[in-house]
Amino acid sequence: MQRTRASDKDNFDFSVKKRNRSKEEIILLMLCALSIPSILPFGLIRLFQANWTLAIVDLTIVSGMIAIFLFVWRTGRVQRASLIVTIFYSIGMLAAVFIKGASIVYWVYPTMIAAYFMLKASHALLINTFSLSAIVWILNRQMNLLDLSSVVVTLVLINLFSYIFSYRTNLQHHELNLQAEHDFLTGAGNRRALDRALEAFSDDEMEKPLESCLLLLDLDHFKKVNDQFGHAVGDQVLKKLCDLIRTRLRATDGVFRYGGEEFVIIAVGTDISTASVLAEELRAKVESSPLCADCPVTVSIGVAKITPSETASSWFQRADAMLYEAKQGGRNTVRVAT
């Protein structure tokens, strides 16, 4: 049994062990890659024309894009990089408009639109609002009121449409993720959601709680319930079990259906002693609850606390080893990794 379970866990390859690039990372890399050939020729031409100020601005932007591209390519860290790119690109655009004037105001449009591809809609709108205010201040003495008003109205409309499109796209993406990451029977997170939740504990950019524990629960002899009463009754038992688990969890905790009758709880910000108490309370609740009217139902639980610099895969395997011990120890019991 242990060999089978170990093989199953090995086959469940968490994305933290892979190097699949996220859509945010791909978008940022593409924008950096497109910016380099778009700006570099102008920088070189201005350099040969001895237009030193604008040449320095252009080449500085290109150098920054190359540095950020290499950084993101090697590390995959996109959150801060996206913010830096947007601010850096906006400052470069404002510097060019300040130096050259209204003749290159057209560079403002792609710069502002690009912000919505790299940042949250609200963050992009905030940065672009500051940029728009700076542009009005820069061009106020260079353009007549009618022409300046035309530019401002156009930029406001671009930001409005981009904000609506970005907000709607993110909302649809969030709704699709909710549907794709929930188990249709129990409403718990599925294996994909578990993968993403565990990935957060190996993401260097995310702030991690000081203590978190993993609880693996497995219904004892659940096959007998399905064989004796049918899968419809078995499904009801699984749904009632999830409902029971949720009554004891906090909003910050997560519950996931890992296998047929196996569930995972991530108790965020919970020390090992508190997690042990939680596991014992859940075990006792399951034992005393009428999950199945004609058949007693019990659960075995393995508990492990994440250690500093530990991978999600190692953390999961230690909790799974405790669950195996609980099964081998007679079931309807809790085992805690020390």
The distance between the two most distant Cα atoms of the chain, rounded to a whole number of Å, is: 89
161 and 236 housed in the same domain: no
- Catalytic (active-site) positions: 261
144 and 194 housed in the same domain: no
Boundary-marking domain end, from 137, 158, 180: 180
Tokens 């109205």, located at residue: 153
3-state helix, strand, coil in the chain (%, to 5): 70, 10, 25
pLDDT at position 203, please?
A: 62
pLDDT at position 16, please?
A: 41
Model confidence, pTM: 0.58
DSSP 8-state class, residue 21: P
CB 78 within 8 A of CB 22: yes
CB-facing half-sphere around the CA of 21: CA atoms within 13 A: 14
176 and 190 housed in the same domain: no
Strands 212-219 and 299-305: antiparallel
85 and 210 housed in the same domain: no
pLDDT at position 112, please?
A: 94
> Which residues, in sequence order, are CB contacts of 229 under 8 Å at separation 6+?
292, 294, 295
Distance of CA 234 to the CA centre of its chain: 33
Total domains in the chain come to 2
The CATH number assigned to the domain holding 233 equals: 3.30.70.270
Angstrom CA distances, 304 to 267, 293, 315, stand at 10, 32, 7
The partner residues of 335 in beta bridges, in order of sequence, read 302
175 and 198 housed in the same domain: no
Could you list the residue range(s) of the whole structural domain that residue 257 is in? 184-336
Boundary-marking domain end, from 180, 199, 221: 180
219 and 266 housed in the same domain: yes
196 and 134 housed in the same domain: no
Q: H or E stretch including 209?
A: none
CA pair distance 258, 260, nearest whole angstrom: 7
Residue 38 lies in a domain: yes
pLDDT at position 210, please?
A: 64
Angstrom CA distances, 255 to 182, 218, 258, 321, stand at 10, 13, 9, 19
pLDDT, one tens digit for every residue, the chain (338 residues): 443 454 444 444 444 444 467 778 888 888 888 888 988 999 999 999 998 988 998 899 899 889 999 998 988 888 889 999 899 889 989 998 999 888 889 889 999 999 998 898 999 999 999 999 999 999 998 899 999 999 999 999 999 999 999 989 888 887 887 777 888 889 899 998 898 888 887 765 455 556 899 999 999 989 888 888 899 999 999 999 999 999 988 888 999 999 889 999 999 889 999 999 999 999 999 999 888 877 889 999 999 999 887 888 899 999 999 999 999 988 999 999 98
pLDDT at position 183, please?
A: 87
Q: Radius of gyration of the chain from Cα atoms?
A: 28
pLDDT at position 151, please?
A: 93
DSSP 8-state class, residue 260: S
30 and 124 housed in the same domain: yes
Residue 215 lies in a domain: yes
